[in-house]
Amino acid sequence: MVTWGDSSSGGDSSAVEGQLAGVEQIYSNVNAFAALKSDGTVVTWGASDFGGNSSAVEGQLAGVEQIYSNGYAFAAVKSDGTVVTWGASSFGGDSSAVADQLTGMTKFVGWRDKPVNADEIIGRARYEMKMRGKTGIVVGLETI
């Protein structure tokens, strides 16, 4: 992992350098970054007010499948369908007011864990396209 730029905005990740192995995806807001690792844990750095410091929810950041962000906060969807938020509290970082509603969120299976019949479905779409005399490409985007 290589970072650069204003250190107060996440340009310097040396404090978490040792944790940044097995990173699959990086998410960001205007002043912080969150790295989702292959084991479902999350590493954050950058401005702490913007979510660069996630120590308050560290224990909850396991089994994370997806992270979303706005300019000031992060929200992580976990494999059990729950959501963990952190960052600027007035910009979504504090979701305690709606905590009881944040369960059973849509879980994306994604193509890394695609169902066994994914090839067949995409293949059928490809075949139908050919039968219509069209040249084309089929791209599987999401399973839910």
Partner 1 sequence: MLKNQKGFSLVELVVAVTVILIVGGSVTAVLLSNLSDAKHAAVVEDVAKLQVALRSELLRSGGEIVDSDSDGDYLDELVVNKTLDKAPQSIRGGSWYLRKNETEINKGMYYLEIECLTETCESLTTMLDEKFDGNGDSSTGAVQWSFSEG
Q: Is 90 in the site for partner 1 (CB under 8 A)?
A: no
Kindly indicate which of the ranges 10-18, 34-42, 51-59, 121-129 contains the residues binding partner 1, using the contact rule CB under 8 A.
121-129
Least CB distance to partner 1 at residue 64 (A): 15
CA 23 – CA 55 distance, rounded (Å): 18
Q: Which of 66, 76, 93, 102 binds partner 1 (CB under 8 A)?
A: 66
Least CB distance to partner 1 at residue 143 (A): 5
Contact 86, 54 (CB under 8 A): yes
Handedness of CA 8, 12, 18, 23 (dihedral sign): positive
Handedness of CA 99, 66, 39, 42 (dihedral sign): negative
* Residue closer to partner 1, measured from CB, 79 or 126: 126
Token pair, residue 78, equals 């976990």
Q: Is 100 in the site for partner 1 (CB under 8 A)?
A: no
Helix (H, G, I), strand (E, B) or coil at 131: helix
* Residue closer to partner 1, measured from CB, 14 or 79: 79
User: Which uninterrupted H or E stretch holds 97?
Assistant: none
CA 21 – CA 89 distance, rounded (Å): 29
Q: Is 126 in the site for partner 1 (CB under 8 A)?
A: yes
Alpha carbon of residue 93 to chain centroid: 15
Q: Is 23 in the site for partner 1 (CB under 8 A)?
A: no
* Residue closer to partner 1, measured from CB, 1 or 129: 129
| Residues making contact with partner 1 (CB under 8 A) | 66, 68, 105-106, 108-109, 111, 114-119, 121-127, 129-130, 133-144
